[in-house]
C-alpha cells in the first residue's frame, strides 16, 4: 500500500487562503455534453446511488448490476475527505468481481483498503467490457464512448455530493487505464467547469497491466471474437484499439502524454505508477509485456502473477 500512501501525500490548500463559496446548483441543461460531441449527456447515464449511509457497506454487486458508479465504502466519520479512490476494471472484467479474491471472499477495495486509507470514499466504476456474449449482444462502444460515460458518471456523483474539488486517485486494470486516460483528456478539453473539474482534481493513477503501447495478442483476440460472432454479436472494435500502433491508441497516448506535461509545467503533476505482469498466462503468454505496461519516466514494479489475476 506504500504506493497509495505516496500518492495521497499531496499538499492541502493553506488554511489562510480565502475559502471559496460553495458552487451553486447546476441547472440540468448545464450538465450536458453539447450535441455535436456525440457523447451522452450526464442526464442520460445511469444515476449513481448516493443514499448510502456513512460507514455502511453496500450489497454485493452481481454480474448484470455492475454498470456505472458503485459506492463500496464511505467512512463512518466524515471529515473533509482527502480523496475519492476509483477502481476501474479491464476487458471482460466486472466492477466487483475483478477486485474479489474468490477463495477467501475478501474484496480488496471494500474490505482492506478502507483500513489503509480510512478517510477515503472508495468507488468502483463498471462498463460493458465483454468482447462477446453468448446470451445477448456485446457492447459496440468505442474507447471514447466508454471514456465519456466514465466522465459523466463520476462528475454527476461528485456534483450531487458537493465534492467536485475533492482529490481523485484512480486504480485501473488493463483496458480500464486507457479509458481513464481518454476521460481525463476529454475533461481537460471541456469548457464546462464541472466537466473540467475531474482532470483538475486528479492526483494520481495506478496502472495495472495497461497496454499503453498495445499488445501483439490483440490480433489473436480479434480472430477469436470473429469466430464467436458467427453465433453471437461481438465487439471487435474495442479489440482493434489494443493492437500495436492502432490509431485510437496513438491518439490516446499522445493526448494523455500532453496532459501529463502540462500538469508538470503547472507544478501540479499527476503521480503515475505502473505495474506489469511477471508471469505468462497459461497457453497464451504475456498479455501485456513490460515494454507496453510501463510509461517512460515513471515508477514501475513487477507483480509475480499473470495478467488475469494481476
Q: How far apart are CA 260 and CA 240, in angstroms?
A: 25
Residue 59 backbone phi and psi in degrees, to 5: -65, 160
Query: For 200-206, what is the mean pLDDT?
Result: 98
Q: How far apart are CA 203 and CA 269, in angstroms?
A: 7
| Planar angle of CA 37, 236, 183, nearest 5 degrees | 35
pLDDT surpassing 70 at residue 212 = yes
pLDDT surpassing 70 at residue 159 = yes
**Residue for cell digits 449513481?**
48
Mean pLDDT over the full length of the chain: 77
Of all residues in the chain, what percent carry a pLDDT higher than 70?
Answer: 67
Q: How far apart are CA 93 and CA 126, in angstroms?
A: 8
Which residues neighbour 142 within 8 Å (Cβ) at sequence distance 6 or greater?
237, 238, 241, 248
Query: For 173-202, what is the mean pLDDT?
Result: 96
Query: For 147-154, what is the mean pLDDT?
Result: 96
Q: Considering only residues 196 and 93, tell me which one the structure prediction assigns the higher pLDDT.
A: 196
| Planar angle of CA 8, 265, 275, nearest 5 degrees | 45
Q: Considering only residues 236 and 42, tell me which one the structure prediction assigns the higher pLDDT.
A: 236
pLDDT at res. 82:
80
Of the CA atoms within 13 Å of residue 282, those in its CB half-sphere come to: 1
With contact defined as beta carbons under 8 Å apart, do 170 and 3 qualify?
no
Question: pLDDT category, 226, cuts 50, 70, 90?
Answer: low
pLDDT surpassing 80 at residue 103 = yes
Each residue's pLDDT tens digit, 26-85 = 434 333 444 334 444 433 333 344 444 455 454 445 544 578 999 999 988 766 668 999
Tell me which of 34-43, 128-137, 146-155, 262-271 is least confident: 34-43
Query: For 7-24, what is the mean pLDDT?
Result: 40
Q: How far apart are CA 38 and CA 142, in angstroms?
A: 12
Cell of 252: 490516446
Of all residues in the chain, what percent carry a pLDDT higher than 90?
Answer: 45
pLDDT surpassing 60 at residue 17 = no
**Coarse DSSP helix, strand, coil percentages of the chain, rounded to the nearest 5 percent:** 35, 15, 50
Mean pLDDT comparison of 23-32, 83-92, 261-270, highest-scoring range: 261-270
pLDDT at res. 236:
67
Structural domains in the chain?
A: 38-303 (3.40.50)
Each residue's pLDDT tens digit, 246-256 = 888 999 999 99
pLDDT at res. 199:
98
Q: How far apart are CA 201 and CA 154, in angstroms?
A: 12
Q: How far apart are CA 286 and CA 89, in angstroms?
A: 18
With contact defined as beta carbons under 8 Å apart, do 127 and 67 qualify?
yes
Tell me which of 139-143, 144-148, 204-208, 222-226 is least confident: 222-226
With contact defined as beta carbons under 8 Å apart, do 167 and 83 qualify?
yes
CA dihedral 213, 214, 217, 219 (to 10 degrees): -140
Q: How far apart are CA 213 and CA 293, in angstroms?
A: 7
Q: What is the pTM of this model?
A: 0.77
Amino acid at each position: 500500500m506504500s504506493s497509495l500512501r505516496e500518492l495521497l501525500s499531496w499538499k492541502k490548500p493553506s488554511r489562510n487562503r480565502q475559502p471559496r463559496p460553495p458552487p451553486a446548483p447546476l441547472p440540468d441543461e448545464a450538465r450536458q455534453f453539447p450535441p455535436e460531441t456525440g457523447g451522452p449527456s450526464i442526464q442520460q447515464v445511469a444515476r449513481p446511488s448516493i443514499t448510502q449511509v456513512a460507514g455502511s457497506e453496500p450489497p454485493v454487486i452481481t454480474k448484470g448490476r455492475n454498470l456505472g458508479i458503485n459506492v463500496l465504502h464511505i467512512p463512518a466519520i466524515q471529515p473533509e475527505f482527502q480523496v475519492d479512490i476509483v477502481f476501474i476494471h479491464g476487458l471482460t472484467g466486472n466492477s466487483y468481481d475483478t477486485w474479489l479474491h474468490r477463495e477467501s471472499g475478501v474484496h480488496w477495495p471494500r474490505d482492506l483498503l478502507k483500513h489503509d486509507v480510512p478517510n477515503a470514499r472508495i468507488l468502483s466504476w463498471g462498463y460493458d467490457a465483454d468482447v462477446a456474449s453468448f446470451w445477448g449482444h456485446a457492447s459496440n462502444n468505442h474507447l471514447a464512448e466508454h471514456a465519456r460515460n466514465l466522465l459523466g458518471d463520476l462528475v454527476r456523483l461528485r456534483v450531487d455530493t458537493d465534492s467536485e474539488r475533492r482529490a481523485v486517485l484512480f486504480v485501473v486494470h488493463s483496458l480500464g487505464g486507457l479509458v481513464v486516460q481518454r476521460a481525463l483528456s476529454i475533461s481537460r478539453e471541456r469548457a464546462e467547469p464541472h466537466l473540467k473539474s475531474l482532470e483538475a482534481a486528479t492526483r494520481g493513477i495506478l496502472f495495472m497491466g495497461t497496454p499503453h503501447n498495445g499488445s501483439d495478442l490483440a490480433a489473436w483476440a480479434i480472430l477469436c471474437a470473429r469466430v464467436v460472432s458467427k453465433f453471437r454479436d461481438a465487439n471487435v472494435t474495442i479489440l482493434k484499439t489494443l493492437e500495436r500502433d492502432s490509431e485510437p491508441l496513438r491518439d490516446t497516448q499522445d493526448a494523455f502524454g500532453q496532459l501529463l506535461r502540462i500538469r508538470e509545467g503547472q507544478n501540479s503533476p499527476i503521480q503515475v505508477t505502473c505495474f506489469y505482469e511477471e508471469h505468462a498466462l497459461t497457453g497464451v503468454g504475456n498479455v501485456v509485456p513490460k515494454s507496453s505496461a510501463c510509461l517512460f519516466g515513471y515508477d514501475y514494479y513487477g507483480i509475480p502473477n499473470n495478467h488475469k489475476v494481476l
